[in-house]
Structure 1
Amino acid sequence: MADQRESSNLEQILPSKTVPLHQTESVKAEATSISQEILTYDGDEEPELHLQTWIAVGAMFMLNFVQVFALMGPPAVLSYIGSSLNSPASQTWVPNALSLVQGVLGPVIASASDTFQARKSILVVTCLVSFAGAGIAPGSKSIYRLIAAQTLIGFGFAAVPLAYCIPSEVLPRRWRPWAQALNNIAAALGSTSGPLIIGALTRASNSNGWRTYYWIQMGIWGLTALGIFLGYRPPKRHTRLDHLSFVQKLQQLDLPGFALLTTGLTLFLTGLNLGGGLYSWTNARVLSTLVIGLVILAVFSVWEWKGTANGMLAHEIFRGGKVAGRTFSICLGLMFIEGIMLFSYVIFFPTLTTNLFETDPFLVTARLQPYYIASILATPAWAIWSTRLRTIRGPLLAGFALWTAGVIGLSTIQPGQSFSSLAFAALSGAGHGAPLILIITGVQLSTPHQLIATATAVTTSCRAIAVTVFTAIYVAAFTTRIGNKIPAYVPAAVLQAGLPESSVESFMLAFMAKDEEGLARIVGLTPEVIIAAAAALKQAFADSIRVVFFITIPFGVVACVGCVFLGDMKETMNYHVDAPLEKLRAKHEHVEGAGVGRRA
């Protein structure tokens, strides 16, 4: 066993390229010496972990919290932000800026961390960039400065793959569901506290409350950077690239792939966000960015397939049969679907709540909480199921089934069904706990450790792309529906309530603009007409929003089917630790050693 471990270490350390014969012995000697410094744990029994490891896990907990705190707060009061900056047409760029940066930079950051063994440095720097972005946002006089600030904050959000990787690689593989459960709990706490805080601040000041939120966020980013700097102390790890200079290591990165992906994704996602909002889908600006972006992404796909075997989509992570290659590929698809399903709730449940049940910004955000509270409570159950039985297939299937059932319920909501909306949100959240922790677990268990950050980044980038693409699809579908439903529902309702036909057009203009003075001048207006119009408007919104959930439901069904084909993880879910922060030994060895000492 020890010989096998040493051989494995030597393979990682020795240069991949052929070296001259007279250098072979010196290189081997150096590699043998270095291999002795590598911390590994391949024991068959549970290792004993100390405070150093748990402090590092705590630092990653804080990082996951602030990343989601930054992501989930602004969407909860997005209409207030857009109104205060007089740019409602551009307001969707505020949350989408983070997803765009993550989708583009996530793989670059992860690949660089694998190549340069610089996880800590990258995390600290990206947190400081986000710290600066959060400090710029409160002074925004236009939405474009806020979008620029959100882009800077997106650098910290782009480090999500490392926040997922580090707890998994410093803890035993068997505990990876628990590692990701901790990440999910941190994220759920961010999802809960972020909207509540920004909602309370916005209720206190509709135009400036969100600015205070960014000051709070700035402080948390600073504390996180400090926590990682002091609490995450990985030992120097040696790889087969150690003998290379900085420039040579830089050349090991898939620079052509990075350039193609960054350019293609930026253009494509920009086109998606421009269409249906600032410009029509047939506008030349929209079509040109979409088409050029898609062409470049097609070139990127060909490059990764035929141009290189060790690029961002390294061929090795797709190989290995059912347990490895197939599981990784399915997990990519499942994470794409997770993004589709999650943001149907994140973006449109607040819209549903505001238009059907509640308008107070704080209470609107409070009504979002059943989803995240249910996720927090259910996450440990999913982790226990997965860890005890050493599987991800069963709990992942059950989680997607519950989540899909919740989405089906949300698609049936009518005005007046306030409690039902909260119950179905909680059901969705309970189900969501499983995919969020077990998809990442599956990716990391089916990937060689030297590619774990890259594979995780590809997975989270799939999610970011899904979020951006389907947010545009959802908005387009909802906008089309509501544009048809309001003219069909409201005039018919007010005519039936007794409003003269000659007054309908002027009534609609004043009613939709919330112009009280204009309404007072409408001939034939009665309280019954106002009540009928309000009820019809709510019904129009209910029937328009449900199309978003109709789009989502088939993807949930596809996810359930995909889970059936996941590989068996029992052999992989062992006590091996890929990158421990300390020298580990089995617990029983420590106990026996202590007993011998006492007897002596």
Structure 2
Amino acid sequence: MAAGGVALPQHMETATGNGQGAPPDSRRWWTLSVLCLSLLMVVVGNTALNVAIPTLVRDIHATDTQLQWIVDAYSLVFAGLLLAAGALGDRFGRKGALTIGLCIFGTGSFLAGISDTPNQLIVCRAIMGMGGAFVMPATLSILTNVFPVHERARAIAIWAGVAGAGGAIGPITSGYLLAHFHWGAVFFINLPVVAVALIGGKFLVPTSRDPNRIPLDPVGSLLTIVGLAALLYGIIEAPIRGWSDARTLASFAFAVVVLAQFALWEWRNPHPMLDLNYFKRKRFTGGAAAITLVFFGMFGMFFLITQYLQFVHGWTPLGAGVRLLPFAFVMMVTAPTSARIAERIGTKHTVAIGLAIAGVGLLVASRLQADSGYGLLVIAFAVMALGMAMTMPSSTASILSSLPMGKQGVGSAVNDTTRELGGALGVAVLGSIFATRYTSALGSLSRLPAAAREAARSSVGGAIEVAHRIGGPAGAAFEHTAKKAFITGQSTAFLLAAGVALAASILIWRIMPMHLSYDYEALEEAAAGDEELALELAQLGPFEGAEGADQSVDDGHDGRGGRERSGVGAGSGDR
């Protein structure tokens, strides 16, 4: 409903990126299935490798540093290319970007599966990250163009549920494959998924692009890639080299300089890749902050929990993966309901409460001990997943509702970049805090040989291996000490993550508008090529806000003359 109770005209509800009003595509739910399949493959590709690390050590003799880069090369390239890939999809077509991304991802997966050295695998993971950077923003931007306003929040909730569940499905799938096949199967499994997505995309995914063929911004793209790559390099290397290491500090300093130059360039550019005026909109900045901080907690949690399950409880990779199922189950079940929750209590309340619930889940996880039963972990997973299910869809909708329809690719890329940055920060910061507390709790180990002492301090897995070599009562006592030190580090890290989530809840409660607002700039762009739509807009009169909308936090102006109407989009959680 529009302001004053006026129903939205059909053209307004279905305006797409092609600049024309059109009825909803009857195949849109089949389209969503193709998009979710593509999304799931990308998310799983970022999480499936963690449980394969011991196998890679044994089969291709990877060192600790190489293992870190095998896991993180994907995220580094993925996050560095997201904004540029989203802009290219808006410019040349999102269906084409999805197709190209799937092909690149499939090629990288095949080459990774036949790699026989760590360095080859690092390069192949980077190729997979490049493909993922085109796929992920394309899925969300296509979704927002296919679904009318009254169905979009539900579709986004399903999309977000799949994205969240993928974090748990990856280790489960990887654990099963490692138990039955060569480790290359972890990558080969992507090939039939790519084939199905390509075939489905050809027939079920419509073509869309930005109706205004604005020139590309190659300088902005290059600065984004270089700046984010330097930032993530510092985040990834800091737990290994130390936060005060010269190379770590230099990478952070370089990232600040380059990203500052990017901001300056985008501010002055008449056709920016990322319009910085969007950050003046509290819906946009609030949604981005919420996603960053909830993924900070989730990635950090899974980084430590997978080690807890295998090293402390002694479960196999498959056993550890199966025990992550409650998280995926709760995400899949509850995420689709978040739109109805937001419709009833408002977007701000939904996101803030979701972050608070996630914080409670992390507090429960901080109580885990070496002898804790599985039930306590299930409770922690369920509460954390419920919080994420409430936070993610509404935050994503808040970001996308801030942007013109033609800029959904860039908006999706911003959404995805915040996920990757939040996740990388979670692993780096919580991992560093864990390592510091673990080493401190382990003690001096002065009686051990230098090599054994270094192995024990490097990880709890190394300490357990040393304990087994010692053997007897002394070995058993040292293994108990190592596991107790692990619990100390893990509890400290989870307490910090819980504090971050609870602080984020308060922040969102204070800054995020209560209601979403439909961006009228998108409708005006569509009306420029549609006389009937232009007439309907004119008949609606001035762009006053909807009754009850919270306009004080978002005045409806974007700094470039764009106008908005609050509360548009019945059933989309626009509150």
TM score, norm. by length of structure 2: 0.79
User: Does residue 150 of structure 2 align to residue 182 of structure 1?
Assistant: no
Distance 1:318 1:327 in 2: 9
Q: Tell me the amino acid that sits aligned with residue 271 of structure 1.
A: G
CA distance in 1, matches of 2:25, 2:252: 51
The reply to whether residue 451 of structure 1 matches residue 407 of structure 2 is yes
1:472 CA drift (Å): 2.1
Identity among equivalent pairs (%): 19
Distance 1:397 1:272, change over 3 A: closer
Alignment equivalent of 2:319, drawn from 363, 372, 394:
363
Which of 320, 333, 356 is residue 401 of structure 1 equivalent to?
Answer: 356
d(CA) in 2 for partners of 1:556, 1:204: 39
1: CA distance between counterparts of 2:210 and 2:244? 53
**Residue 89 of structure 1, CA deviation:** 2.4
2: CA distance, partners of 1:286 / 1:571: 41
1:414 partnered with 2:387 = no
Residue by residue, what CA displacement relative to the aligned partner does 1:376-408 show, whole Å, maximum 9, x if unpaired? 12113323223x438322222222121110001
Match of 1:308 among 257, 264, 269: 269
Pairs within 5 Å for 1:418-497 = 418=373, 419-487=375-443
With 186-195 and 106-115 compared, the bigger mean Cα shift is at: 186-195
Shift of 1:357: 1.9
Q: What is the 5 A alignment of 1:515-530?
A: 519=470, 526-527=472-473, 529-530=474-475
- Let me know the Cα RMSD of the aligned residues: 3.5
Q: Which residue is equivalent to 2:43?
A: 68
Q: Which residues of structure 1 form unaligned runs of 5+?
A: 14-36, 42-46, 242-248, 320-324, 492-501, 521-525, 584-600
Alpha-carbon deviation of 1:51?
Answer: 3.6
Name the counterpart of 1:25.
Answer: none
Distance 1:85 1:174, change over 3 A: same
Cα contact 2:464–2:479 (8 A) shared by 1: no
Other structure's SS at 1:158 match: helix
Q: Do the aligned partners of 2:178 and 2:186 also contact (CA within 8 Å) in 1? A: no
- The SS at the match of 2:346 is coil
Secondary structure of the corresponding residue to residue 395 of structure 2:
helix
Aligned residue for 1:91, secondary structure, equals helix
Task: Give yes or no for contact 1:105–1:158 (8 Å, CA) kept in 2.
Answer: yes
Amino acid across the alignment from 1:566: M
- Alignment match, 1:557: 502
Q: Report the alpha carbon displacement of residue 432 of structure 1 after superposing the two structures with TM.
A: 0.9
- On the 8 A contact 1:261/1:297 being kept in 2, the answer is yes
Answering whether residue 195 of structure 2 is matched by residue 222 of structure 1, we say yes
Counterpart for residue 31 of structure 1: none
**Per-residue Cα deviation, 1:187-224 (whole angstroms, up to 9, x for no partner):** 3553343222211222346xx3x311211112212321
Partner of 1:155, secondary structure, is: helix
Distance 1:240 1:518 in 2: 67
TM-superposed deviation, 1:573:
10
Change (3 A) 1:373 1:66: same
Could you tell me whether the CA contact under 8 Å between 2:108 and 2:127 is conserved in 1? yes
Change (3 A) 1:211 1:430: same
Aligned partner letter, 2:438:
I
Amino acid at match of 1:351: Q
Secondary structure at the aligned position of 2:443 is classed as helix
Query: TM-score, normalization: structure 1?
Result: 0.76
Decide whether the 8 Å contact of 1:131 with 1:221 is kept in 2: yes
Aligned residues: 508
Structure 1 counterpart of 2:515: 569
2:69–2:122 contact (8 Å) kept in structure 1? yes
1-structure distance, mates of 2:398, 2:443: 49
| Separation of aligned partners in 1, 2:271 and 2:344 | 34
> What is the deviation of 1:475?
2.5
Alignment-derived partner of residue 304 in structure 2: 348
Are 1:94 and 1:146, in contact at CA under 8 Å, matched by a contact in 2? yes
Tell me, in whole angstroms, the C-alpha distance in 2 between the residues paired with 1:327 and 1:52: 31
Unaligned runs of 5+ in 2: 3-7, 457-461, 531-575
2:39–2:163 contact (8 Å) kept in structure 1: yes
Among 191, 203, 207, which residue is 1:234 paired with?
A: 207
Q: 1:328, 1:97 → 2: CA distance?
A: 28
Structure 1 counterpart of 2:202, which letter? F
Classify 1:285/1:570 alpha carbon distance in 2 versus 1 (closer, same or farther; 3 Å).
closer
Quick check: 1:309–1:315 contact (8 Å CA) kept in 2? no
Match of 2:290, SS state, is: helix
1:92 and 2:68 correspond: yes
